[in-house]
Structure 1
């Protein structure tokens, strides 16, 4: 199904096999596959990168539509007509000079994923995941969600004519509940966390044979998410920033960007000398299993009991790909940090009034983490820092900051009161930084 920004010509598929991220076992990419049959680990798509390097120069992109499908040689579709598109990709990357000054960062940039279809970065994974599932013959997809994934997959399922069933915690923001149902997905609410929703999905997959679209339980969502990394490199003139600050629930986007940078190097689109960014994984204090595991120097996280936070997308008690996230943080000399809800809500307000960006709670958590790491001296003033705002703040109306509108009676004259602008010179309100909580991974290989 060709969308308005889908490929205009059938690509040659360079996908060659699926590889287990844990044990390295290979699986057949030409048929439906979910987890490794040897160890149960997540599968990753692998491409003939040498062939791409020899036959697809970087400048081939210049004549293509600005959508995620412009990188089609590094995406898993066999045929262009199977692409499902709502115009996703090409989100803006721009500087935030006022906020950067307040937070003590000379070059602070945001990649605003809230401008994607359905108002979330989840649209990337849904576009490629639904496209490939349809290509493999799936007729009904089922997935659990803590928030925006459900609405994104529902929208792309509707576009593709594929049935979608979504199971989400009952405390998922109401806008997302109703949005998911509005796209025609059969939507269920369960008491508990996304782990409880996942248990319902697991039973449905076993009982009804539906296509399991759970996070990292199919290998193609991450292929859509990795296009954030492709776009970031291209928007920076085929260079990479010093630091990427990323709100982490399931961690698929972080893993995907790391994969993207490796693939770009392998095909010659990114110079071998280009230094890797330091990845910062940000979680909420009310659900921080990866942060805890990072500081305890563990290879995997333990399930977080009773996850609670205003950032619904961060309420993931244990990510299937946590071992990959932790590995990336250490290999990139990165860090992991949790942020409390009070600071998240305050940062939503500050970003809005200083830069006109209504960040989602998850994105606000990432901005707050950038500030704390700068205060601790773990991000330097003149480093290039990219923060990912992963969704549209307007979807979280119950948490929107700011005073309520003032009511005027009919015929009442508005008083002359000048709007108050934030005091930029004063900086962001101070916070006592616990540096023991902000340890960076050792730079074992001399590469950040």
Structure 2
């Protein structure tokens, strides 16, 4: 295996300051910028526009817009290329043209596979022998899965106390990862993990795969946007409603659209989707910052939400999330825990396998249509980030009868 860095990368950029960050000759793994902000990758899009697409499989069908090349054929051939399905039942209910991007067909069952597949491959290409990350769910599973697929050191996963013996704990170990429990939430788990792994990070042996702590996960999540553009070749959705915790997917989808516009793959006169960040009322730092007109997201104290993926009290890339909402003329919506649970059961009643995070997007759509922000007949895409297995284990609310 000889992983290669995409030769069409032009520079690394601090997402907050816009300043170029030295890559050190591509000899060591990439972390945060010197100012402590996430780093993003820029490409020579003028050159890429002249290239053939290539013959990559899975995520690497879009190899020219990914940072690492020459991955083994069996590494991520089953990641991505997920279906986008029209829902007649939800279209009728909300009076819109409703579509769902179904990410639970990825190998470990969630959209996290996209980001972790690229993050692990990029880190390995830069010399990392292994990885670590805090998780409340699917990210840890995907990190362990792709570390094993590349034959690297076992992924070191830190979960908050209380996750012992649960689905995610068992899944991480099933794919060869090691699990440690520390702290009351993901922020505390992350702090513990970074302290424990500090020496290995300094030596370049391990990479911190926390959300936005390296640029590969964003590039992997970007492929959702690349696929959405292909799946809607004539007219993109008017709205994309996205369940937002750390925000990698929302920022990544928008990055894809802007790159495709620059490449000429999306006509410049075509309207891009308006992006919606959805959070639980129990943990809504992005919604609060958006409502105040802030340019960054301050950490809050989460009251705890049934949607694990939304239980992120602070967003290190909050400035970019808010920038996407502004540039797309989008919005941010907080929904109640009751509405999330009800929407989860509603989705099951019409045969849509989705978790609580996707259910939050359905609850948000109800609010947006009732307020008139989303208009009748508009095309709306919901992103179903993962399947219902864990949510079913938690579900205590009787199915709503609205579809029965």
TM over 0.5: yes
Give the superposition deviation at 1:403: 6.2
Please say if residues 58 and 80 of structure 2, whose CA atoms lie closer than 8 Å, have aligned partners that are also in contact.
yes
Shift, 1:190, TM fit:
1.8
Q: How does 1:8-407 map to 2 (within 5 A)?
A: 13-29=7-23, 30-31=26-27, 32-37=29-34, 39-56=35-52, 60=53, 64=55, 67-81=58-72, 84-85=75-76, 87-102=78-93, 104-163=94-153, 164-172=155-163, 174-209=166-201, 210-237=206-233, 239-354=235-350, 356-400=351-395
**Do the aligned partners of 1:247 and 1:362 also contact (CA within 8 Å) in 2?**
yes
Distance 2:302 2:262 in 1: 42
Unaligned runs of 5+ in 2: none
Q: Residues 242-264 of structure 1: CA distance to partner in whole angstroms, max 9, x if unpaired?
A: 00000000000000011100111
| SS of equivalent to 1:282 | strand
Between the aligned partners of 1:141 and 1:16, the Cα distance in structure 2 is 26
Deviation at 1:28, TM superposition (A): 3.7
Structure 1 length-normalised TM: 0.83
Taking the aligned partners of 1:170 and 1:277, their CA distance within structure 2 comes to 39
Partner-residue secondary structure (3-state), 1:55: coil
Distance in 1, matches of 2:74 and 2:259, equals 21
Separation of aligned partners in 2, 1:287 and 1:12: 38
**Any gaps of 5 or more consecutive residues in structure 1?**
405-420, 427-448
Deviation at 1:307, TM superposition (A): 3.8
In 1, the alpha carbon distance for the partners of 2:48 and 2:116 equals: 25
Change beyond 3 A, Cα 1:12–1:328: closer
The CA distance in 2 between the partners of 1:196 and 1:266, in whole Å, is 40
How far has the Cα of 1:364 moved from its partner?
0.3
Between the aligned partners of 1:275 and 1:396, the Cα distance in structure 2 is 35
Query: 1:289·1:317 contact (CA, 8 Å) conserved in 2?
Result: yes
| Aligned residue pair count | 395
Question: CA offset at residue 165 of structure 1?
Answer: 0.4
Matched-pair contact (CA < 8 Å) for 1:77–1:83:
no
Q: Answer whether contact 1:247 1:281 (CA < 8 A) is retained.
A: yes
Deviation at 1:80, TM superposition (A): 4.0
**For 1:65 and 1:15, how far apart are their aligned partners in 2?**
18
Q: 1:423 and 1:395, CA in 2 relative to 1: closer, same or farther beyond 3 A?
A: closer
In the alignment, the residues of structure 2 paired with residue 192 and residue 223 of structure 1 have an alpha-carbon distance, to the nearest angstrom, of 30
Q: Deviations over 1:78-121 (max 9, x none)?
A: 4344983251011110111112212x233100001111111110
SS of 2:50's partner is: helix
Residues 11, 315 of structure 1: alpha-carbon distance in 2 compared, 3 angstrom cutoff: closer
Which consecutive aligned stretches of 4+ in structure 1 deviate over 6 angstroms post-superposition?
401-404
Secondary structure in structure 2 of the residue aligned to 1:287:
coil
Q: Which structure has the bigger radius of gyration?
A: 1
Higher deviation after alignment, 162-171 or 112-121: 162-171
Query: Following the alignment from structure 1 to structure 2, what is the Cα–Cα distance between the partners of residues 43 and 336?
Result: 24
What secondary structure sits across from 2:68 in the alignment? coil
Indicate how the Cα distance of structure 1 residues 311 and 282 shifts in structure 2: closer, same or farther if over 3 A, else same: same
Structure-2 separation of matches of 1:27 and 1:327: 21
Q: Give the Å deviation of 1:72.
A: 0.3
In 2, the alpha carbon distance for the partners of 1:142 and 1:423 equals 43
